[in-house]
Amino acid sequence: MCSATRTPRIATFMLAMPALSLVAGLIVFPTVGLFVLSLAENFSPGDPVDQFFAGRFGWANYVRLVTDEFVIGRLLRTLVIGAIVTLGTFIVGVPLAMALWRMSGRAKALLLAVTLTPLLVSIVVSAYGWSVLLGQRGIVNETLRSLGLISRPLKLMHSDIAIIIGLVHILLPFMVLNLLAALERVPRVVLEAASTLGASPLRVHAAITLPLAAAGTRSGVLLVFSLAVAAFVTPAILGGNGTPVFPMVIYDQFSGSFQWAYGAALAIALLAISSVIVALYLATARRGTY
Amino acid sequence: MLRWATFAWLGLTLVFIAAPTLIAIVVAFSSAELVKFPPDGYTFKWFASAWGKELFWRAALVSLLVALSAMAITVPAGVAAALAIRRSSVATRRMLELVFMSPLLVPAIVLSLAILVGSVLIGATDAPLRLWAAHSIIVLPYVVRTTLASLAGMPPGVEEAAATQGASPWQVFRYITLPLITPGVLAGAAFAFIISFDNVSVSLFLVNQKTPTLPLAIMNYVEYNFDPSVAAISTTMVALSLAVAWLVERMVGLRRILQ
Amino acid sequence: MKQIHSVNPNLGRRGILKAVAAVVPVALAGFPAIVRAQTKTITTTGYGGVYEKHYRANVVEPWEKKSGYKVNVITTGGADQWLANAMVNRAKPEIDVPFLSLPVTHSAIKSDGVFLDLDEKMIPNAKYVDPFFFDFFDRKAIGFNYAPYGIFYRTDQIKTAPTSWAELWKPEYAGKILLPDTTSGGAEETVVIAAILNGGSVTNLDPGWAALRKLKDNVHRFFKNNNEPVPMLQRGEASIGGWYSARVFGLKDTGVPIDFVTPKEGAPIGLLSFHVARNTPNRDAVLDFVNFALSKEAQEGFGNGIEYGVCNRLAEFKGRAKERVPPHDKLLRIDWRKVEIAKISERYRREITG
């Protein structure tokens, strides 16, 4: 731990003030405002602010939410898609994380850089790339056709498959980084000891690596799941008709249906779900010591 | 046999990761009007066409200015916050870390809506202002995190040594701490720039109809047009992000951001 | 620390710091100036593709030359987003004169305090506009052009031209149908048509909903804007569906084997209208722009170019345009005032496209 010189508490407080004000003003206040909007029962978009506060408030929007078949259906669908995406990132991410774990030096840095490209590139660019790849005349269909596996092009674009592929692509770095961080905490020495004692590589990993890396897996899974459920842009570009996922339903309340108060309630619901997942993530993620 | 299979799987994984970006780049140079692959020929004309459109270069300017303005606020605030965290007791430290990581925990679309509602409530509906505010808050966690990592990496006792020599707290900071953490801070700032420039979800509800950010301009354009201009813009954005990342790598090493 | 020594001297930290330090104040200072629109501009909305081409050539550019103003035409988003924008920003409008489409128009004229009530004094050319296109909006907006929403079909895939909307339900068309989503025009009209075909009406839409629920799985895509169908039709992915005439003819004129028919039950009328933001700071310029758009010259040029009907009675159609543009009283008029359109759109999104 650091042994900083004794600084008066007031100085510490003042140092934290600017960032605290940013969070208070740009996270806390707006979220409270959104919550207040979700309680408005007779709100019409564009109502002047004083008229807004003179209106009726209550839980009507939330009651409507829990009894709304369509919305609940979409929410469940989104959770399922999120689960599939998480599984996908795990399956693809584990071999990659393990490979990175064994590497070192330049090769490792290079591979890591490639793995991180979805983070460095805007999600619109990734989604656009997928829309070209998955189109009816896109590479995927053309390759499958030339290999003789299909006779008519598959409808890949504008579907749940496309959403899942797109989300696995952009969330893979998060899974890999979490797995890698967990793996790197496994002391090599223990693995070597087990190996010298005669255990096969599979046994070594099953008995030692897996349990020790479990925490990293849990945190990776939770993080990816929370991001997948809240995703809007990728499903909007790659998804099928209408509003295939919950965040798109929220968007729709604001830009199509003009039901802002209800949309606010949906947004708060998404925030609540996300908070639960993220709370679990924070509890399981091991952070570095400072 | 297993080795070969593993290599093949890893190879496929890498192709999967790189494919969309590579496609965008290849299409950007293709000469056909309709987007298709493989392209018939190669040309620079889409770059000229894309950057000739007012929609795109104005949006690029907006994105650039928002990113720089956000950094101007967040880097000082974030560095100060990291210093505060370091000087706090363990309990306070955990709480502060949570508070400063909070922008990452709110779903982007919820945050965008919340800031929209907040701005209407206080009557500040100026779009550039809203964008600046929103981008400042979403990059805060990155700056705080990399600065903390930098602070942790400082040789222990260096600050104390200076203090015992008679330096005031401000002098300790200015001449000892600051130079030592600058690489980490710059890495965080660079990452913050990329995050802000590329951001879509938070900007969604906050842009002015007349002046979208560059990623939003791309999204809008794709709804109506099918020519490779979008690919050209995307390629430029990718080049920019990679350039910034390379710069950081040269100066401080990318590993810092990953701590 | 090691890093300090290994940094390339040319890219020294100092240099970068200085550069950033120099740019940021400029950025902060220049930000508002660059981002805000230049002076003497009015902002309106518009529809892309072939529509935009003729709109700019006949309305926007001539007026810009005449007035010295610049017109910023926003084509992104859709009528509902533009209306939402107008409502939220009613005190300080971002869009001076939203150019909206049915059925969003009905929500627009119901919003109090957002738009200006219009009359012939403000817009002299209004007296040449067919009264239908002014009174329809309770004089809170004025029509610019109208468009028939009918059936398109690929002539190479369907040998005999369809004559009725009911033919969309034919099983052989499964997977090859295109219909609009609510963000593109025509969705709500499709519901009414489906209702009428099955014994209902605009106030009794249940038969329509039932029929569309049966149809939806046969639809290849519910397109979200008027440009989505273009590549799909060029590639032959769809053979039949509902769309606006000029869009179909525009594609036909580029060589795609496609044609437009007005079904016997009627082609609902799509109507585009100007709504003037009450609090726009450029009221005189905006009114002058709208007046110019409604002038005989502009309307004739536009109408003949795009082959859509226009609202100025004096505009004359020549040649092919004359054949392709039906007089507006021959089109199906739906009395949207009897229903709440927003509810129809919402239900469409939930039951049909969802």
Mutant choice from C112, C346, C347 vs A, greatest count of A C-beta within 10 A: C346
**How many structural domains does chain A have?**
1
Give the tens place of pLDDT for each residue, C171-226.
Answer: 999 989 999 998 888 899 999 999 999 999 889 999 999 999 999 989 999 998 88
Q: Between A and C, how many CB-CB pairs are < 8 A?
A: 55
Q: What residue numbers bound the domain in which A194 lies? A: 70-289
**Would an 8 Å CB–CB cutoff place A158 in contact with chain C?**
yes
A141 touches chain C (CB under 8 A): no
The whole-angstrom separation of Cα C116 and Cα A243 is 35
pLDDT of residue C25: 52
Residue C32 has pLDDT above 80, yes or no: no
CA-nearest residue to A24 within chain B is B99
Put simply, the answer to whether C353 touches A242 (Cβ < 8 Å) is yes
What is the topology classification, in CATH, of domain B53-258?
MetI-like fold (1.10.3720)
A-chain CB neighbours of C86 within 8 Å are: 46
Rounded to whole angstroms, the Cα distance separating A52 from A42 reads 9
The CA-atom distances, in angstroms, between B83 and each of B149, B173, B185 are 11, 10, 12
Position C1 pLDDT exceeds 70: no
pLDDT by residue for chain A (290 residues), tens only, comes to: 444 445 577 888 888 999 999 999 999 999 999 999 999 888 877 667 777 787 888 899 999 999 999 999 999 999 999 999 999 999 999 989 988 988 888 888 888 889 989 988 889 899 988 988 888 777 888 888 888 888 777 888 888 999 999 999 999 999 999 888 888 877 777 777 777 877 777 777 777 777 767 777 888 899 899 999 999 999 998 988 888 999 999 998 887 777 889 999 999 999 999 999 888 877 766 553 22
The arithmetic mean of pLDDT across residues B171-186, rounded, is 86
Predicted pLDDT of residue C2:
36
The reported pLDDT for the residue numbered A214 is 78
Give C11's pLDDT tier (boundaries 50, 70, 90).
very low
Interface size, chain A vs chain B, as Cβ–Cβ contacts under 8 Å: 256
Alpha helix stretches (DSSP H) within C200-350: 206-215, 229-234, 245-252, 283-293, 296-306, 319-324, 341-347
Query: In which band, very low, low, confident or very high, does the pLDDT at B252 lie, cut at 50, 70 and 90?
Result: low
Q: Which residues pair with C154 in a beta bridge?
A: C258
Cβ–Cβ contact C22 with B under 8 A: no
Residues of B in contact with C231 (CB under 8 A): 34, 226
Contact A230 B107 (CB under 8 A): yes
Give B99→chain C minimum CA distance, Å. Answer: 27
Give the model confidence (pLDDT) of B201-226 as tens digits.
Answer: 999 888 877 778 999 988 888 776 76
Interface check A177 vs B, CB under 8 A: yes
- C182:A256 CB<8 A: yes
Q: Is C347 on the interface with A (CB under 8 A)?
A: no
Question: Who among B36, B117, B199 is closest to A33 (CB)?
Answer: B117
Q: Among all residues of chain C, which has the CA nearest to that of A152?
A: C237
Would you call A257 and C90 a contact, using CB atoms and an 8 Å cutoff? no
Residue C160's CB is within 10 A of a number of other CB atoms, namely: 7
Higher pLDDT, B134 or C87: B134
Please check whether residue B186 touches C, CB under 8 A: yes
Residue A132 sits at the chain C interface (C-beta within 8 Å): no
Identify from B23, B110, B172, B226 which residue to disrupt to test chain A contact, counting A C-beta atoms within 10 A and taking the largest count: B110
Chains that touch C (3 or more CB pairs under 8 A): A, B
Tokens of A274: 């996300």
C27-48 mean pLDDT: 65
Residue-wise pLDDT tens digits, B59-87? 999 999 999 999 999 999 999 999 999 88
Q: CB–CB of B49/B229 below 8 Å?
A: yes
Report how far residue A150's alpha carbon sits from residue A138's, in angstroms, rounded to the nearest whole number.
Answer: 14
The Cβ of residue A247 has, within 10 Å, a number of other Cβ atoms equal to 25
For residue A63, being part of any structural domain is answered with no
User: Is the Cβ–Cβ distance between B141 and B100 less than 8 Å?
Assistant: yes
State whether residue C72 sits within 8 Å of chain B by CB.
yes
Cα angle for residues B69, A114, B6 (degrees, 5° grid)? 155
The neighbours of chain B, by the rule of 3 or more Cβ pairs under 8 Å, are A, C
Taking the CA of residue C34 and the nearest CA in chain A, the distance in Å comes to 24
Nearest CA in chain A to C110: A44
Best of A136, A252, A254, A262 to substitute, by most chain C Cβ atoms within 10 angstroms, is A252
CA distance C119 to chain A (A): 25
Which of C84, C181, C219 lies at the smallest CB-CB distance from A255?
A: C84
Q: In this complex, which of B84, B97, B103 lies closest to A15 when CB atoms are compared?
A: B84
Q: Are residues B247 and C23, on separate chains, in Cβ contact within 8 Å? A: no
* Full DSSP string of chain A: --------HHHHHHHHHHHHHHHIIIIIHHHHHHHHHHTBSS--TT--HHHHHHS-BSSHHHHHHHH-HHHHHHHHHHHHHHHHHHHHHHHHHHHHHHHHHH--HHHHHHHHHHHHHHHHS-HHHHHHHHHHHHSTTSHHHHHHHHTTS-SS----SSSHHHHHHHHHHHHHHHHHHHHHHHHTTS-HHHHHHHHHTT--HHHHIIIIIHHHHHHHHHHHHHHHHHHHHT--HHHHHH--SS--SHHHHHHHHHHTS--HHHHHHHHHHHHHHHHHHHHHHHHHPPPPP-
Angle at B66 between CA B63 and CA B71, to 5 degrees: 125
B-chain residue closest to A237, CA distance: B219
Q: Looking at the domain assignment, is residue A19 inside a domain?
A: no
C272 forms beta bridges with C101, C145
Cβ under 8 Å to A: C residues 70-109: 77, 80-81, 84, 86-88, 90-91, 107
Q: Does residue B27 surpass a pLDDT of 80? A: yes
Task: Looking at the complex, report in whole angstroms how far the Cα of residue B34 sits from the nearest Cα belonging to chain C.
Answer: 9
Does residue A11 form part of some domain?
Answer: no
Mean pLDDT, range C299-314, rounded to an integer: 90
pLDDT score recorded for residue A55: 81
Task: Give the domain CATH number at A94.
Answer: 1.10.3720.10
Q: Which of A80-84, A156-160, C2-6, C307-311 has the lowest mean pLDDT?
A: C2-6
Torsion of CA C286, C271, C227, A165, to 10 degrees: 100
A96 inside domain: yes
Dist CA A92 CA B14 (whole Å): 10
Half-sphere exposure of A160 (CA within 13 A, CB side): 13
Judge whether A225 lies within some domain.
yes
DSSP track, B175-218: IIIHHHHHHHHHHHHHHHHHHHHH--TTTTTTSBTTB--HHHHH
A267 touches chain B (CB under 8 A): yes
* Inter-chain CB proximity A169 and B245 less than 8 Å: no
**Could you tell me which chain B residue has the CA closest to the CA of A130?**
B20
C-beta atoms of B226 and C231 within 8 A: yes
B65 touches chain C (CB under 8 A): yes
What stretches of C68-186 show up as alpha helix (H) in DSSP? Answer: 79-88, 104-110, 132-135
Which of C350, C351, C352 would best serve as a mutation to test chain A binding (most A beta carbons within 10 A)?
C350
First to last CA, chain C: 59
| Cα(C192)–Cα(C270) distance, integer angstroms | 13
Q: Which residues from chain C sit within 8 angstroms of residue A255, using beta carbons?
A: 77, 80-81, 84
